[in-house]
Structure 1
Amino acid sequence: MKALTNRLIVISFDCLSSSDYQLIRTLPNFRRVLNEGSYVQHVEAIYPSLTYPSHVSIVTGNYPKRHGVINNTLLQPGASSPDWNWYRANIKGTTLYDEAYKANLTTAALLWPVTGKAKSIQYNLPEIFANRPWHNQIAVSLLNGTPAFLWDLNKRFGHIRNGLNQPELDDFVLECTIYTLQTKKPDLLLIHFTDLDTNRHQNGVFSSEATEAIHRHDKRLGRILDDLEERGELAETTIVVLGDHSALDENKAISPNVILYEENLITVNRKGKITDWKAYCKSCDGSAYIYLKHPVDTQTMKTVKDILTKLAADPSKGIEYVLTGEEAGRKGADPECAFMIEARSGYYFIEDYLGDYQKNVTAFDVRTNKKYMFGAHGYSPEKPNYTTFLMASGKGICPNRIIPYMHLTDIGPTLARLLGLDIGETDGNITEALLDIDNVQRGASYEKNVRA
């Protein structure tokens, strides 16, 4: 299979929504991509629509139940800060960057989720943070990425960072991007920017702060395009700009574990720590999994089902509907859960097991505790006005096409087709309407005839 491009740059602007298009189409650098390329109006998310499962679906073309990353964080009942799915080893099957590496392409990734210790990424700055008081951020990054590369980046640009705070983190990533393009010349570069996502969580989906983040993203995109153009490489490069999910405004946090504790399904010691559990609600923000410690415990299964049925029957409890594990699996989520619950509009789930079932979130809460926020995702892709979108330009992309719809799982096989790679059987399909396959094939035939 002939490649359609020599170089592919995938830029993920976390939490970019289809609703942002009316603003984005007016901004100079987003417009540069739109004017030269094509875009997909609505990209349907996976379930749960969270950052880590979404980014794995983008590079595998598969649903979470198949690629194995079914949540951002791990099931660690009672942990105040659960560990995340940071590592490539958590992904089942192959990825776009694995196949690119096998094809002798140079691969690089900058804060792309679930790439810790990925051997097939030659220049890797993984998204991973120091999650314990005794951890050091630089050491954690060096141990899980490409040490010499990261040491060089930190020496050059580490002064830009301010911990995990935005916009400094994305400004750091931008400088790393320009430097990587200039010095490593990757054939495949995956970049993850989180400024917009952070501001939507902290301030609301359509807040002025979120709008300012989009403007900053436009400038970041412009820096990348300008660098490629100044070095004469833009014409031979494919640029794909995408979001991983949308977000919805909310101001009510609900804690089903409080009810499970009251029903003696969670055991807590005098210090308030969980010592045992029969059932546990694992948050995905806008949705949540309910797990049983012993899946064959039929009595606990019945008790939990009764609890959830009563909660869902009362709109003030914030649960829109309840799925069985089998039903969740059919939607692409984790079929190993006992149940999956979806939050009503304005609500999201947290994992508290002591205190009140419901909390009205205030600005003070958001400023002082990371578990509280004004914008959330993780909801079902069936929620209205909840799609993301994608735009692309450059070699191998059809110009001036508007494609109404694709699924997030379609992105992986489409990117693979651009690079002439095979990522195997996938849940998604190639979006051929986006690709300029005929033109590339005509070019190949012309070159063959000239040589003859």
Structure 2
Amino acid sequence: MKLRAALLALTLLAGAAEAGPVLMISLDGLRPADVIEAEKKGLKLPNLTAFLKQSAYASGVRNVLPTVTYPDHTTLITGVWPDKHGVGNNEMLDPTGKNLQGWYWYAEDIKVPTLWDAVHASGGKVGSVGWPVSVGSLAIDENVPEYWRAQNAEDLKLLRAVATPGLIGKLEKETRLPLGALFGEDPQHDVARATYAIEIMADLKPQFMTVHLVSLDHYQHTYGPDSAESKKALEALDADVGKLIAAAKAAHPDVTIAVVSDHGFAAVHDGVYLDRIFAEAGLITIENGKVTDWQAYAWNAGGSAAIVLKDPNDAAVKAKVEALLAKLAADPKSGVARVIDAKAVAERGGSPKASYWVDFKIGYSGEGDFTISKTYTLKGTHGYFPDHKEMRATFMIAGPGIKAAKLGEIDMRDIAPTLAKVLDVKLDKADGKPLL
């Protein structure tokens, strides 16, 4: 097996050119089969299927715990799991709501070097549009980060302020698209993101460019994976990918392009309200509909939830929580598939804040509401343990010297070291190894 892997690596690198620039395009929620089996699924993806044929690609990418956007995207640019890079979920742990449901937006929360840092340190230019956990990165020369707060028009002022100074005004002028054109999760907003990225590539000619497009994820949450609406959104994204690839090649004929995703998707039909159960057990104190104190809290991540104890050394609380979780795991109607302890969480590279981690059954999603709504509206989600095949992410790479090949299933931690090798930069803290 090792000999075969070595031979494949040598074949893929045969005739490799000197280090060239890299464009990494993330299509949030893209499942590998959506491209590999596009024709079978009735999907018209001329750009993605053409790219697949010329690329080295994975049948699936085994991602991180939990399989949600921000931890996965941070692994994509660091090559380590959340326990090392520090981004343990989408939202920050905030049981009492003091952070107003803030997410891990800021690059300073990343505890290890990123590909952005490595390229910047080597003297290369870096550009980025919409990449998670990038606000305030000093390594990105031209940055339009993903960021919001109030989710209204005032956020446009905020986004303008946290982007590279002067960049938004320049992009608005050169593309004739106002910043508001990016502010949303529908396909037309991804068109605007791609347009801004194309302008950055033409002007900056970055050595490393990252772009995050989100409409497929949004439509799969809203309408479900494999829905007509989600398929239409993916077909629209295919056009964006085609334009981005063309622009990258125009800026740098020797560019290497990686098309990636963070996670897969599964259809859902019901919610699991762990915090409501904890509140009923006296582990969460609620006054006027708000949490005022807590002993145990479910840090929800869609298809799973980290169980965090305010005092991990409180034996009485620990025993009470373990009994509740065991009861839920034994109940076939609870939606709970399994529970792992802190040791198993550590082995999987999950956040060290978790004393336990609950994996829900496919079809169930963790919800934070303290009352169960009569109508459950979510149609799709992710966040389940990475063991589930439905959560597999996508990886395709093509460029000078890279031979078309099937890579089989890969570890997400190997992607950043692979791109570092192409870029000829060092990523010493990465746990993954170059695929090529």
1:24-70 CA-to-partner distances (Å, cap 9, x unmatched) read: 79622113322332211111111111100001000000001110001
Equivalent residue letter for 1:176: Y
Aligned partner of 1:258 in structure 2 is: 276
Aligned CA distance change for structure 1 residues 61 and 144 (closer, same or farther; 3 Å): same
Matched, 1:104 2:132: no
Partner of 1:14: 28
Distance 1:71 1:3 in 2: 38
* Aligned with 1:355 (options 371, 379, 394): 371
The TM-score normalised by the length of structure 1 is: 0.87
Q: Is the 8 A contact 1:225 1:234 kept in 2?
A: no
The reply to whether residue 391 of structure 1 matches residue 389 of structure 2 is: no
Q: How many Å separate the matches in 2 of 1:327 and 1:129?
A: 34
For 1:360-418, what per-residue CA distance to the aligned partner results, in whole angstroms no more than 9, with x for missing partners?
754xxx4xxxxxx21111111111343122111122422x2111121111101001000
**Map 1:339-378 → 2, pairs under 5 A:** 339-352=356-369, 354-356=370-372, 361-362=375-376, 366=377, 373-378=378-383
Please report the TM-score for the alignment, with normalisation by the length of structure 2: 0.90
Inter-CA distance 78–254: structure 2 relative to 1 (3 Å threshold): farther
* Alignment match, 1:282: 299
* Distance in structure 2 (CA, Å) of the matches to 1:165 and 1:41: 27
Q: 1:234 to 1:186 in 2, by over 3 A?
A: closer
Corresponding residue of 2:350: 333
Secondary structure of the residue aligned to 2:124 is coil
Q: Does residue 1:48 correspond to 2:66, yes or no?
A: yes
Is the CA contact (8 Å cut-off) linking 1:253 and 1:361 kept in structure 2?
no
Partner of 1:443: none
CA distance in 1, matches of 2:125, 2:390: 38
Q: 2:128, 2:197 within 8 Å by CA — same for their partners in 1?
A: no
Q: Residue type of the partner of 2:118? A: E
Output the amino acid matched with 1:210: S
Equivalent position of 1:406 in the other structure: 410
2:106 paired residue number: 87
Secondary structure of 1:300's counterpart equals helix
Q: Is the 8 A contact 1:252 1:348 kept in 2?
A: yes
Q: Report Cα offsets for 1:82-120 as digits up to 9, x if no partner.
A: 100000011001000001001010001100000000011
Q: Superposed, which structure 2 residues align to 1:168-187 within 5 Å?
A: 168-187=188-207
> Is the contact made by 1:240 and 1:391 (CA closer than 8 Å) also made in structure 2?
yes
From 294, 298, 302, give the equivalent of 2:311: 294
CA distance in 2, matches of 1:416, 1:228: 18
Counterpart CA distance in 1 for 2:102 and 2:180 is 26
Matching residue within 181, 184, 188 for 2:208? 188
What is the distance in 2 between the residues matched to 1:81 and 1:208? 34
Structure 2 Cα separation of the partners of residues 281 and 221 of structure 1: 37
8 Å Cα contact 1:88-1:118 kept in structure 2: yes
C-alpha separation in 1, matches of 2:37 and 2:130: 28
Is the 2:38–2:49 Cα contact (8 Å) retained in structure 1?
A: no
The C-alpha deviation readout for 1:328-364, integer Å capped at 9, x for no partner, is 1111111231211000121010112x224xx5754xx
Confirm or deny that 1:225 pairs with 2:245: yes
AA at the equivalent of 2:92: L
How far, CA to CA, are the matches of 1:306 and 1:158 in structure 2? 54
Change (3 A) 1:126 1:138: same
Gaps of 5+ in 2: 1-15
Equivalence for 2:138: 119
Give the residue type in structure 2 aligned to 1:35: K
Q: The residue matched to 2:132 in structure 1 has which SS?
A: coil
**Tell me, what secondary structure is at the counterpart of 2:359?**
strand
**What SS does structure 1 have at the residue aligned with 2:171?**
helix
Aligned sequence identity (%): 29
**In the alignment, structure 1 residue 149 sits paired with structure 2 residue 154:** no
Give the 3 Å change call, closer, same or farther, for CA 361–346 of structure 1 in structure 2.
Answer: farther
Verify the 8 A CA contact 1:40 1:391 in the aligned structure 2. Answer: yes
User: Which runs of 5 or more residues in structure 1 are unaligned?
Assistant: 367-372, 433-452
Query: Do 1:118 and 1:145's aligned partners in 2 also have CA atoms closer than 8 Å?
Result: no
> How many residues of Structure 1 are paired with residues of Structure 2 in the alignment?
414
Find out whether 1:424 has 2:428 as its counterpart: yes
